[in-house]
Amino acid sequence: MKDLEQLRARLPALRDVTYLNTGTLGVMAEPVLERYVEALQRVERFGHARWDEVRATAEAARQRLAELVGACPEELAFTGNSTDGLALILASLRWSPGDRVLTSDQEHPALLLPLSAVSRRHEVTVHQFTVGSTPEETIVSFAERLEEVRPRLVAFSHVSCETGVRLPVERLVSMAHQHGALVLLDVAQSVGQCRVDLRGLGVDFAAGNGHKWLHGPKGTGFLFVRRDMLDLLEPPLVGDGAVEPAFERTADWLEGWRFRSDAQRFEFGTRNPAPWIGLTAAIDYLEAIGWDTIERHQCVLVRWLHERISAIPGVRWYSTLDPTCGSGMVTLGLSGWDGETLSRVLWERFQIIQRRVLVPNGIRVSCAYFTSFEDLEKLASALEQLAVGSAGVRE
């Protein structure tokens, strides 16, 4: 990629480590950090003296985020992360005993745990479809399970955190809707690394974050509720800011309150606006590099890595190379090594940051806009040494 050296120079972490774990946490570029810190200084130094001005700037982030994900600002609520958003949506649906949910076999605990809580609390059953190695395989499994389960809600990730595969969301959503099911999409791993058009995809609800592929402030996330679905959700918590404002303290105002008509019914109390200004700066920064450039760069890196390591004895590649259903995140294993140990040794001996995966057993490698061939060469040569040295750790 053009200007890669310059982009990398703005990321101090890269001086000490090989950073291949954007799928867990992004690293913020210095110019973004400067804008974020400047916002934080305004908030903390001036308090209420400049509160309205800072709040208005932060509010612009809602518009910016809405444009990025193909939504209207009224359809977005700010949250702390994707986990917040997923849990809030699941806790807000009015469940009935016997309701069924269909999810995939490659989901993050951020979705599985609130689903399990819904199941415990409301006698809802949770069923799975299988994510295949091609979109067609996934569609076949989904169609079969949809027919059998007849779910009220279908909930799955846009990009799998286990293998980096990108699901054929548009097709799955259309099938789910034909069967009368609602759709909740987890976009934690897609926003910032591939295009996300929530309106185009047709989903009813979604949740994502700013701290992974957008490389924005930690503690930024959002939930999306399609405009016509808002009244289907009854937030489990209510507080000042989440309801239509009461301009008079009439005797019965506490009986008569109503939730706001937009997604901000999920926000209440005093919140720090600075991270949202930081997130706007992060989006501006990536947009200046260009989404097409970023996607192309990730795709080239993934192919290069595959080619480079396929000759290493014992390497197993678990992800797709098809750019239409892959991403910048891939999972690989090394024979004789369990993922946990391999991940730890790559960090401790080689200062390569990646993440272990339990199923399939291996490590996940994130190729981001700043990743270089040299980073991947370091990984490949570490794997070569470990393959030859064989630690004798059995899977």
Ligand X SMILES: Cc1ncc(COP(=O)(O)O)c(C=O)c1O
Which residues of this chain interact with ligand X, rule CB under 6 A?
24, 81-83, 108, 110, 157, 161, 186, 188-189, 209, 221
Least distance to ligand X, CB of residue 95, Å:
21
By beta-carbon proximity to ligand X, the closer residue of 191 and 281 is: 191
C-alpha span between 283 and 33 (Å, rounded): 12
Least distance to ligand X, CB of residue 80, Å:
8
CA neighbor of 224 nearest in space, from 247, 243, 201: 201
By beta-carbon proximity to ligand X, the closer residue of 186 and 372 is: 186
30-46 vs 274-289: helix crossing angle, rounded to 10: 160
By beta-carbon proximity to ligand X, the closer residue of 26 and 151 is: 26
C-alpha span between 131 and 166 (Å, rounded): 10
Least distance to ligand X, CB of residue 107, Å:
7
* Cis, peptide link before residue 323, omega less than 30° from 0: no
Least distance to ligand X, CB of residue 84, Å:
7
Least distance to ligand X, CB of residue 360, Å:
15
CA distances from 316 to 35, 86, 310, 357 (A): 42, 32, 8, 13
By beta-carbon proximity to ligand X, the closer residue of 108 and 179 is: 108
By beta-carbon proximity to ligand X, the closer residue of 366 and 372 is: 366
CA neighbor of 262 nearest in space, from 19, 71, 32, 70: 71
Residue 193 identity (one-letter amino acid) = Q
Least distance to ligand X, CB of residue 88, Å:
12
Q: Sheet with 329-334: list strands edge to edge.
A: 315-317, 329-334, 362-366, 355-357
By beta-carbon proximity to ligand X, the closer residue of 85 and 235 is: 85
